[in-house]
Structure 1
Amino acid sequence: MKRLWIVPFAAALLVGCSEEKPPQAVRPALYVVVQPERSEHLGRFAGNIEARYESTLGFRVPGRIVRRFYDVGAVVKQGDILANLDPTDQQNQLRAAQGDLAKVQAQLINAQANARRQQELFDRGVGAQAQLDTAQADLKTTAASMQQAVAAVNQAQDQLSYCNLRADHDAVITDWKAEAGQVVSIGEEVVTLARPEIKEAVIDLPGPLAEALPKGIEFQVAGQLDPNVKTTARVREIAPQADSATRTRRTRLTLDQTPPAFRLGSSVSVTVSTPIAEHFELPVTALQDVDGKTRVWVIDTQTQSVSPQDVTVLSRDTRNALLSGGLKAGDKVVIAGVNSLTPGQKVRLDKESSQ
């Protein structure tokens, strides 16, 4: 009887053990870390740092340039002589004006003495009224000629001083348009001065992009030699007409900050982007279409398991897809073998894909 009880019990134990499920295998997971995009990249353009205020100076008299005292890039102070002309002609004009003045001064002395004599004779009753009137008229005419001669001397002195081209404000020389020995006319452009205290970035934007820029759009400005030197900027001025050759429009940007490395003439890289609704970009291999819905598999780093998450596909191509909803920054999403995953499946985070 004992054998009849023992054998069935042992058989039952064997049957029970055979029905236990084997443990689920932990599979490696290739994944990416989700990074949201909140702006749309519109382009990157090369530009320069320029002064907001520039002035181009020229001589106020014609002549031949004798000397230039500074080179491009020199810092000058208000009143500094930048260049000068041969002053021979102006010196001769000044001498002539001074000679005319001396002549008129002598005539004025003579006219004053004559008018005084005629007045004395008239007062004693021995002089004629007509002679007194003539003497007084000559005195007034000579006095007027004296004023004219003084003005001519002052003008000649000014003309001589104009042979020196002076800086009208503290500035940096950015360009010379004439060389020593060159003959220039009145007002011809000779030198360009820039005020260094206010700087801005200058770029050339394609016409359609310049016209479509949203109001208040922010630009990212970084140094080309050192991209870590950067700041933000906003549009100050867009040229009303496009360049006839390139069809671009000169755009000037006001810098929110001016790093010391942004010197006049420095090359910068300007990035244009516009705010958009938050979205994510993932490889199309991360998507799984089930029952008309699209989902991705998110890894729970605490439990080392995966779970499905529904997402909305904004657009996709053969390589990448733009998604919205369901994800947040820092989520780890599986990008390979998603069709063989099951909810709660254990995974091993062996490798992270760079995206």
Structure 2
Amino acid sequence: MKRSSVVLAACLLLMACSKEDPAPEPVRPVLSIEVKSEDHESLGRFAGTIQARYESNLGFRVPGRIARRVVDVGAEVEKGALLAVLDPTDQQNQLRAAQGDLARVQAQWINAQANARRQQELFNRGVGAQAQLDIAQTDLKTTQASLDQARASVNQAKDQLNYSELHTDHAGIVTAWNAEAGQVVSVGQQVVTLARPDIKEAVIDLPAGLAERLPPDVVFRVAGQMDEQVSTTASVREIEPQAQSATRTRRARLTLAQTPAAFRLGTAISVTLSSAIAPRIELPLSALQETDGKTRIWVIDTQNQTVQPRDVAIISRDANTVLLHGGVKPGERVVSAGVNSLKPGQKVKVDEDSPR
């Protein structure tokens, strides 16, 4: 009896040793994303340029044919710099004619002055008539007026000659030429555009619908297209009251908070519009699992490398993303793909963030 008990115990021990230990559940790799709270809503991104706030369209004050252009587009000029010159032949001829008239009137004035002096002397000696003296004095006054007029004509002709040269009245940068050498221009016709580089602004074209419903707290972020690290904020200075018929856009001019040195005239920029909103959480649509009428996400325990489901409430969704109202906190990580095959407490291997 004792021997049989020993044999039975040995058999039981062998049977226990022959049973295989259950295999551990495999660790599943998952794509994940870190939860971030958004407190600004993007209203769009638009291309634009840096332009001068003040520009002058300059033209000649006299008509004529442009003889030469002195500077090219992009040139920086100082106050009083020469920009272009007209053929001065007509103005020179007018000046010569005015100077000839002046010489003739000066000779007449000298004769009238001598005649008036002579008639005064004769009248003082009692041999001259009062009528002759009055005529001589009247001729002197008339000739004096003609002399003043001739002198004014000479000054005017000199001014007309000076106007055949186009000079700047302030320092600036030449941004456009609207006439070429050899072209005949009229008085005041736009010839060259001069921009003042001291005050710059951003210029963009906004869709008419967006321009009409811009929120009062809209924020404009202006960045260079070649280097987005060069950026600043801006505010609306003016928006054109009417939309352009071809594009249905309205031009907006923005005052820059700062003007980086890289923002030269003509620099291409991108302007991002955003406005403040109540904090919300946006996740990719693939992070949702909808079963039994419930919507949930899978939150990763980063210490234990496990996942647990969590019910969430949806604000809105589109084809790619979903907005959540609570249920998860910023900084937590959630599974962003393959949620339908997960189990509570399952071990996972977290990969890099997946793109939204």
Please give the TM-score of this superposition, normalised by the length of structure 1. Answer: 0.87
Partner of 1:115: 116
Does 1:259 pair with 2:250?
no
Is the CA contact 2:50–2:269 (under 8 Å) kept in the aligned structure 1?
Answer: yes
Matches within 5 A, 1:273-292: 273-289=274-290
CA separation in 2, counterparts of 1:149 and 1:219?
Answer: 62
Given residue 48 of structure 1, which amino acid in structure 2 is its aligned partner? Answer: T
What does the per-residue CA deviation read over 1:289-312, in whole Å, with 9 as the maximum and x for residues that have no partner?
477553323223234344444432
Q: RMSD of aligned C-alpha atoms?
A: 2.9
C-alpha deviation, 1:344, in angstroms: 5.4
Partner of 1:335: 336
Is the CA contact 1:217–1:235 (under 8 Å) kept in the aligned structure 2?
Answer: no
Is the CA contact 2:239–2:251 (under 8 Å) kept in the aligned structure 1?
Answer: yes
- Aligned in 2, Cα 1:166/1:352: closer, same or farther, shift over 3 Å? closer
What SS does the corresponding residue of 1:233 show, helix, strand or coil? Answer: strand
CA separation in 2, counterparts of 1:318 and 1:54?
Answer: 47
Given residue 173 of structure 2, which amino acid in structure 1 is its aligned partner? Answer: V
- Aligned in 2, Cα 1:51/1:134: closer, same or farther, shift over 3 Å? same
- Aligned in 2, Cα 1:351/1:144: closer, same or farther, shift over 3 Å? closer
What SS does the corresponding residue of 1:30 show, helix, strand or coil? Answer: strand
Partner of 1:237: 238
- Aligned in 2, Cα 1:216/1:58: closer, same or farther, shift over 3 Å? farther
- Aligned in 2, Cα 1:337/1:95: closer, same or farther, shift over 3 Å? closer
Partner of 1:207: 208
Unpaired runs of at least 5, structure 1: none
C-alpha deviation, 1:275, in angstroms: 2.2
Partner of 2:56: 55
CA separation in 2, counterparts of 1:192 and 1:133?
Answer: 59
CA separation in 2, counterparts of 1:231 and 1:170?
Answer: 26
What does the per-residue CA deviation read over 1:193-244, in whole Å, with 9 as the maximum and x for residues that have no partner?
0001111111111111111112352222222222332222221111111112
Is the CA contact 2:217–2:275 (under 8 Å) kept in the aligned structure 1?
Answer: no
Partner of 2:158: 157
What SS does the corresponding residue of 2:312 show, helix, strand or coil? Answer: strand
Unpaired runs of at least 5, structure 2: none
- Aligned in 2, Cα 1:190/1:303: closer, same or farther, shift over 3 Å? same
CA separation in 1, counterparts of 2:214 and 2:318?
Answer: 27
What SS does the corresponding residue of 1:175 show, helix, strand or coil? Answer: strand
Partner of 2:142: 141
Please give the TM-score of this superposition, normalised by the length of structure 2. Answer: 0.87
CA separation in 2, counterparts of 1:152 and 1:72?
Answer: 37
C-alpha deviation, 1:141, in angstroms: 0.9
Given residue 86 of structure 2, which amino acid in structure 1 is its aligned partner? Answer: L
Partner of 1:98: 99
The number of aligned residues is 349
- Aligned in 2, Cα 1:199/1:315: closer, same or farther, shift over 3 Å? same
- Aligned in 2, Cα 1:341/1:49: closer, same or farther, shift over 3 Å? same
Is the CA contact 2:217–2:276 (under 8 Å) kept in the aligned structure 1?
Answer: no
Matches within 5 A, 1:172-191: 172-191=173-192
